[in-house]
A and B are shown apart, each in its own frame.
Chain A
C-alpha cells in the first residue's frame, strides 16, 4: 500500500509539470538530517534610534537628515528563513512565511519549527516575499491578500510598510507613507538579510533556544541612502525611490543575543 501510494505520488509528480513557476527557493533539509522536533524562537523588538518603538504620535525618532518622525503602522514580511550550521552548511527551513506587525505582539515572537538539531552560527531571511509566490495565484496564511499587504491593481506583495508623520514631510498634513513592493527588476523591494549570531545557537528537542533580534525603523531613512522627507514622503509604487528605502531597510536588523 505504502509503495503503491508512493508510486502514485511519483507518477503525479512526474506527469504534472508545475503550472508557471518553481516553488520558492526551498532546498530540502540536509542529506541524512533526521526529521526534527526541535524549534527555534525568533523574538523581534522594534526600536527607533535604539529606543523602543511606540506607535504613538508623541514618540518620535530622528533620521540622519535631521528629520523627526513618528510611526502609526509598521509591517513587513519575513520569509525564507535559513540557518548556517557549524560546518558552514546552509539549512533551509521550508514554508517559513511570516507577516510581522508591530501592533501584534504574537507576530513578533516567531517559532521556527522543524529545525534539525545542531549548532548554528547565523541566520538569513528575506524581507519580503520571493518572486515565485508573487506569481503563483491565490495564497493563504501569512500571504493571504486580506492582510492588506497585496497590491490588487498591479499584482504583487507589499514587502514592507511604514506609515506615520513628520513635521518635515512635504505632505500638507505631515503624513509619511512608504509601501515598498516589487518582486522583480532593479527596483524590487525584496532584500536578503544575513546576520551572524553573537554565540552559537544550540538547537535541540529538549529546550527551545531563543534568538533575540532588533529592527530599527530609523534605518529605513538613514542607512545607505539619506531620505529627505521634504521630497520623499509618499512612496507607494515601485521606483528608484522605493529601491533606496529597500536598500536602507536591508540593514535594519541586528541579532542582540542568543539564549540557549
Chain B
C-alpha cells in the first residue's frame, strides 16, 4: 500500500466520528469509507446520521443508474451524469429528459459533493439528501412523482433484495432511497489528480503547467479556491444573458435582485472532461472560457467586482493555464469501478 494512502486512511480514522461499533467502516475495494484528503477542509456533509455501509452505498449506486426514476423508465441520474465525463453530460449543452424534453441548464460535474454547502447552479437545494426529488419531479427531466417512484422501486424484486441487505427489510421509503443515494453521491471523491500528486511531492509539473499554475493562483484562485477549486459562492461572471432562457440565476431562489444572474462558482476538478462549460453550457472548450474572461465580460449591476475589467491573459498564458487545468484530471476517479454503472 502506498504511504500516502496510508496517511490519508489514518487521517480519516483519527478525525472521523466514532459510529455504531457494529457497523465498521469498510475499506475501499468493493466498499467505501469517508475520506478527508490531507490538507482539505472538513466536509459539509458528514455521515454521522447516515452511517456508511457497503450495502447502502451499493443500493445508492443502483438507484443512481435506475431509469425507473423517470416517468417512462428511460432516464436515470447516470443518463446525464456520465462517469467518463466526471459525471457531467458529455457533449450536451442541455440534457434531454423524458420525451426528448430539453432542460435549460448544463448538467454539472459531480465530485466531492460532501463539501458542497448547496446544490444546483442557483443553490436552490440545501442538502445532499433532498437533491434527488428535484430532477425526479422536474417535468423537463424525469417528470415522475415520488409516490410512483416508491411504488415502482418497491415492487421490484431486485430492489427488495437490495433494500433488505441495506436496511434489514424491504420497506421502500423516499428517506431510505435518498439517504442511500447520498451515500453514493457523497463519496464520489476526486483527490488523486496530477495536481494532487504534485502537492504531495510524488509528481512534478512541466514548465508550462507550472507557469499555468502560477497564473491561475494569481488570476483565478480567488473564486476557484484550492483545494476544491470553488468558493461555492454565487457570482455574476459577466456572461451575456441568453435571450431565449433569461435565467435569473440565484435570484430565482432568493427573490433578491442583488443576486440577479449569479450562479455558483463551479469546481474545476476534472474540468478537461466536463464540458460544455458555464451554467448554460454555452462554451465548448476551455479556450472559449478563458477568452470570455479576456474579451467578452458583459457589464451589469451585479457583475462580480473582481471581473469589472475582465482578466488580462496573453495567448501563451491561456495555453499555460489550460495545461495546468488539465492536471486537475483524475483518471482514478474517472475509472473507479465503485462508481460505475453495474450489471447485477
- From A11, A18, A156, B48 is in contact (CB under 8 Å) with A18
**Closest B residue by C-beta to A12:** B18
Place the interface of chain A in its size category: 20 to 34
Interchain CA distance A153-B138 in the complex, whole Å = 8
**B128 contact from A15, A137, A237, Cβ within 8 A:** A137
Asked if A144 contacts B127 (CB within 8 A), the reply is no
Task: Indicate if the CB atoms of B179 and A138 lie closer than 8 Å.
Answer: yes
B220 close to A (CB within 8 Å): no
- Report which A residues bind B (CB closer than 8 A): 8, 11-12, 15-20, 134-140, 144-146, 150, 152-156, 237-239
Contact A238-B182, Cβ < 8 Å, known A16-B18, A140-B174, A146-B174: no
- The reply to whether A145 and B127 form a contact with Cβ atoms under 8 Å apart is no
Q: Is the CB–CB distance between B18 and A11 below 8 Å? A: yes
Considering the chains assembled together, what is the distance between the CA atoms of A32 and B19 in angstroms?
A: 31
Q: Which residue of B lies closest to A14 (CB)?
A: B18
A137: B residues at CB distance < 8 A:
49-50, 127-130, 178-179, 182
B156 at the interface (CB under 8 A from A): no
Which of A15, A136, A150, A154 has the most C-beta atoms of chain B within 10 angstroms of its own C-beta? A154
Residue in A closest to B175 when the chains form the complex, CB atoms:
A140
CA of A155 to CA of B124, assembled, Å:
6
Question: How many of chain B's residues touch chain A, expressed as a range?
Answer: 35 or more
Indicate if B281 sits at the interface (CB-CB under 8 A).
no
Minimum CB–CB distance for B271 against chain A, Å:
26
Q: B255 contacts which chain A residues (CB < 8 A)? A: 237-239
Interface residues of B in 119-153 (CB under 8 A from A): 120, 124-130, 133-134, 136-138, 145-147, 150
Starting from the known contacts A12-B19, A19-B46, A138-B129, 20 additional A-B residue pairs (CB-CB under 8 Å) come to: A11-B18, A12-B20, A15-B17, A15-B18, A17-B48, A19-B48, A20-B44, A20-B127, A137-B49, A137-B50, A137-B179, A138-B179, A139-B175, A144-B174, A152-B130, A152-B134, A153-B125, A154-B252, A155-B124, A156-B126
Q: Which of B201-257 contact A (CB under 8 A)?
A: 252-253, 255
Q: How far is the CA of A244 from the CA of B95 in the complex (A)?
A: 39
10 CB-based A-B contacts, threshold 8 Å: A15-B17, A16-B18, A137-B50, A137-B182, A145-B133, A145-B174, A152-B134, A153-B138, A154-B125, A155-B130
* In the complex, residue of chain A having the shortest beta-carbon distance to the beta carbon of B43: A19
- List of A residues within 8 angstroms of B20 by Cβ: 12
Given A11-B18, A138-B178, A237-B255, CB of A145 within 8 Å of CB of B146: yes
Query: Which chain B residues border A16 with CB–CB below 8 Å?
Result: 17-19, 48
Instruction: Provide the bound-state CA to CA distance between A153 and B137, in Å.
Output: 9
Q: For residue A134, which residues in chain B have a CB less than 8 angstroms away from its CB?
A: 126
Closest to A156 in B: B126
B179 cross-chain contacts in A, Cβ below 8 A = 137-138
Which residue on chain B has the smallest CB distance to residue A11?
Answer: B18
Q: How far is the CB of A1 from chain B (nearest CB, A)?
A: 14
Q: A19-B49, A146-B147 in contact; A135/B173 too (CB < 8 A)?
A: no
| B21 CB-CB contact with A under 8 Å | yes
A155→B127 contact, CB < 8 A: yes
Closest to B49 in A: A19
* Complex alpha-carbon distance, A136 and B127, angstroms: 7
Q: Does B45 contact A (CB under 8 A)?
A: yes
With A12-B20, A19-B48: A138-B138 Cβ-Cβ less than 8 Å = no
Minimum CB distance partner of A136 in chain B: B127
Cβ B18 vs Cβ A145 within 8 A: no
Across the A-B interface, give the 5 residue pairs with the lowest CB-CB distance, nearest first: A137-B129, A146-B146, A140-B175, A138-B178, A138-B129
Chain A positions within 8 Å of B17 at CB level: 15-17
Residue of A nearest to B125 (CB): A155
Residue of A nearest to B151 (CB): A146
- Please give, as numbers and ranges, the residues of chain A lying within 8 Å of B19 by CB-CB distance: 12, 16
Residues of A close to B48: CB separation below 8 A? 16-19
A11, A136, A146, A239: which contacts B150 (Cβ < 8 A)? A146
Cβ distance B277 to chain A, nearest Cβ, rounded Å = 23
Which residues of B are found within 8 Å of A237, using beta-carbon distances? 255
Chain A nearest Cβ from B198, distance in angstroms? 33
The residue on B at minimum CB distance from A134 is B126
Assess whether B138 is in contact with A144, with CB atoms less than 8 Å apart: no
B136 contacts which chain A residues (CB < 8 A)?
152
How far, in whole Å, are A202 and B224 apart by their CA atoms in the complex?
62
Min distance, Cβ B134 to any Cβ of chain A, angstroms = 4
The CA-CA distance from A239 to B120 in the complex, in Å, is 22
With a cutoff of 8 Å between Cβ atoms, the chain B residues found around residue A19 in the complex are: 45-46, 48-49
User: Which residues of chain B have C-beta atoms less than 8 A from A239's C-beta?
Assistant: 255
Question: Chain B 160-184, CB within 8 Å of chain A: the 1/0 string?
Answer: 0000000000000111001100100
Query: CA separation between A12 and B49, bound complex, in Å?
Result: 12
